[in-house]
Amino acid sequence: MNSLILDQLKRDKILDLLKTGKRIDGRSLDEQRPLIIETGVIPKANGSARVKLGDTEIITGVKIQPDKPFPDLGDKGILICTAEILPLADPNAEPGPPNEEVIELARVVDRGIRETEMIDLHQLVLIEDKSVIGMFIDSSVIDSGGNLFDACSYASVAGILSCTVPKYEIKDEAPVLVEGVTSKPPIKTLPVSVTMARIGDHIVVDPTKDEESCMDARITITTNSDGNICAVQKGGSDGFTAEQLLECSEMALAVGRKIRKQFEKLM
């Protein structure tokens, strides 16, 4: 009961501060929380990353293995990004099959990386129509502190950048691992996801869990290295004006440039 009252007080505080252009953690409206990226944390995986975005923490592992291509996509390798919120990450998370929020999270992270064409999937083909390389990028939220969209996206990108891709040869039409030979994944561009929340008339970048609890609507915009906009997802139970959305797209580009510099150091 008490905690409900505290939550309400915190929301009031957030709204009061925003009226004066301030955020409860002292950030400016268009400022992200510090992003800490550590790679290679799961040595048994082909790539991995541990990402902290403020209080949110993600672990991503990449597994690379030969696979059959999807029908009608025989000239492309397979890239699948997933995301799940571990029950230890959040008192409200529940074990079991993913709910609609987790499904949206996983699909938005996946589309951000897919639509920017971060990886040249044509280079992951072993025998056209028969055998390709599959990359599975699985992200687990281990501490939930708001803005899981961006945190999972950053961890997925960092996990991919940290990858060593094993080499496969074809013998008797089947792929065989060539021990000891690896390469970097074929990276074409660096996607950066930037999520903004609308709280009243204010747009804030990278909302915390407390800010999310009082936001009206949410927008996630992914841009690529060339400054193009490649994926967008609006969420939340209210809307935006067109002007607000254009403002958001500019913010996403500006914030994206900063994050991309952190990614470039990993390459």
Partner 1 sequence: MVKTMTQLMTEDGIRCDGRRLDELRNISIKVGVLKNADGSAYIEFGKNKILAGVFGPRDVHPKHMANPDSGILRCRYHMSPFSVTERKNPAPSRREIEISKVIKEALQPAVILKDYPRTVIDVFIEVLQADGGSRCAALDAAAVALADAGIPMRDLVSACAAGKVADRIVLDVNNEEDQEGQADMPVALMPNMGKITLLQLDGMLKPEEFKTCMQTALVGCKRVYEVQRKALMEKYFQNGEQ
Q: Which of 25, 234, 247, 266 binds partner 1 (CB under 8 A)?
A: 234
Exactly one of 145, 146, 166, 175 binds partner 1 (CB under 8 A); that residue is: 145
Would you state the structure tokens that stand for residue 192, as one six-digit string?
């950066």
Write out the two tokens for 142.
């281990």
SS3 for 263? helix
Q: Of residues 112-141, which lie at the interface with partner 1 (CB under 8 A)?
A: 115-117, 136, 138, 140
Contact status: 144 vs partner 1 (CB under 8 A)? yes
Site for partner 1 contains 262 (CB under 8 A): no
Helices marked H in 148-197 — which ranges? 148-161
Q: What is the rounded CA–CA span in Å between residue 147 and residue 149?
A: 5
**Position among 7, 12, 75, 101 found at the interface with partner 1 (CB under 8 A):** 101
For partner 1, what does the binding mask look like between residues 201 and 230, x meaning CB under 8 A? Answer: ------------------x----x--xxxx
Structure-token pair, residue 37: 């990226």
Count CB atoms within 10 A of the CB of residue 128.
12
Beta strands 125-127 and 131-143 are antiparallel
DSSP 52: E
The CB-side HSE value for 10 (13 A sphere, CA atoms) comes to 16
Candidate residues 103, 125, 187, 266; the one interacting with partner 1 per rule CB under 8 A: 103
- Assess 10 for contact with partner 1 (CB under 8 A): no
| Residues near partner 1, by CB under 8 A | 41-45, 48, 55, 57, 59-63, 65, 72, 82, 84, 86-91, 95, 97, 100-101, 103-104, 106-107, 111, 115-117, 136, 138, 140, 142-145, 219, 224, 227-242, 245-246, 249-250, 253
